[in-house]
Amino acid sequence: MPEQGIIDFFKNMVHPAMCAACGKDYPEFLCPDCSSEILPIDLNKCCRYCGIPLLSSGTREGICSSCKESGLNFTRHLSYTIYSGNMKRIIKKFKYSKIYGLDNVLAGFLHKTYRRYFASKSIDYIETIPGEHTKKLAKRFSKIVKIPFKGNIIKIRDTRRQSGLDLGARKINILDAFKLRNCLEYKDKNILILDDVWTTGSTLKEICRIVRQGGARKVFLLTLARGA
């Protein structure tokens, strides 16, 4: 709706001059106090495939029981932090209140994890799950890391919101819901797919399946936060 577009435009043009997490007066979108409370997951203490934080008594190989049992169609997933507190607040402001000026703050968190692991992986393209806010995030991140964002994944049918569905229902809900716009684009390429939150990973795994079908060599996943 054009009117909504205009409202969103001005909402982001006129900077609210307050922190999106605590609401106090601040010239940026996230104040230093709120930012410092968002702590990264210790990459040395999480599953080497899906990135779930492991207890200190975790398996010797650093692989969680779920990844041991089921085959994976991606090389590695990592989240910057846990989906709680200030990260949860600013993701909701970004996604639902459309405070898109947060794109730089959020892409900055992704970049911290990217530098620690993905920077050495020869990523050819950045991708994301189709959606207005995810596209904004991916575009901003793409500029920071200077890797093209292709927008080659498209949604081809309606789905229900994943929240509130159990794991089995989530898988059915998104099965064959996406396809590649250009099916030759990913041949022999390494793709990094971004998203805001990893909950069960159902949607990301389905996207990985499509991307792998397109001939991608390696698929990596990076999200802001992991569902607690």
Site residues (vs Zn ion, CB under 5 A):
19, 21-22, 31, 34, 47, 49-50, 64, 67
Least distance from Zn ion to the Cβ atom of residue 112, Å:
19
Region label for 107, one of left (φ > 0), alpha (ψ between -120 and 50) or beta (otherwise): alpha
Helix (H/G/I), strand (E/B), else coil: 220: strand
Interatomic CA distance for residues 12 and 227, integer angstroms: 28
The answer to whether residues 180 and 132 touch, using CB atoms and an 8 Å cutoff, is: no
Q: Based on CB atoms, which residue is closest to Zn ion, 38 or 50?
A: 50
- The tokens of 36 are what? 């410092």
Interatomic CA distance for residues 158 and 176, integer angstroms: 11
Q: Based on CB atoms, which residue is closest to Zn ion, 101 or 214?
A: 101
Q: Based on CB atoms, which residue is closest to Zn ion, 149 or 198?
A: 198
Least distance from Zn ion to the Cβ atom of residue 147, Å:
26
Least distance from Zn ion to the Cβ atom of residue 226, Å:
11
Q: Based on CB atoms, which residue is closest to Zn ion, 47 or 208?
A: 47
Least distance from Zn ion to the Cβ atom of residue 144, Å:
22
Interatomic CA distance for residues 39 and 82, integer angstroms: 8
Q: Based on CB atoms, which residue is closest to Zn ion, 47 or 123?
A: 47
Q: Based on CB atoms, which residue is closest to Zn ion, 189 or 205?
A: 205
Least distance from Zn ion to the Cβ atom of residue 12, Å:
19
Helix (H/G/I), strand (E/B), else coil: 137: helix
Q: Based on CB atoms, which residue is closest to Zn ion, 67 or 180?
A: 67
- Interior/surface letters 110-125, b for 16+ CB within 10 angstroms, e for the rest: bbebbeeebeeeebbb
Least distance from Zn ion to the Cβ atom of residue 177, Å:
24
Least distance from Zn ion to the Cβ atom of residue 26, Å:
6
Burial of 158 (0-12, 13-18, 19+ CB in 10 A): exposed
Strand order in the sheet with 218-227: 76-83, 218-227, 190-198, 125-128
Interatomic CA distance for residues 28 and 18, integer angstroms: 7
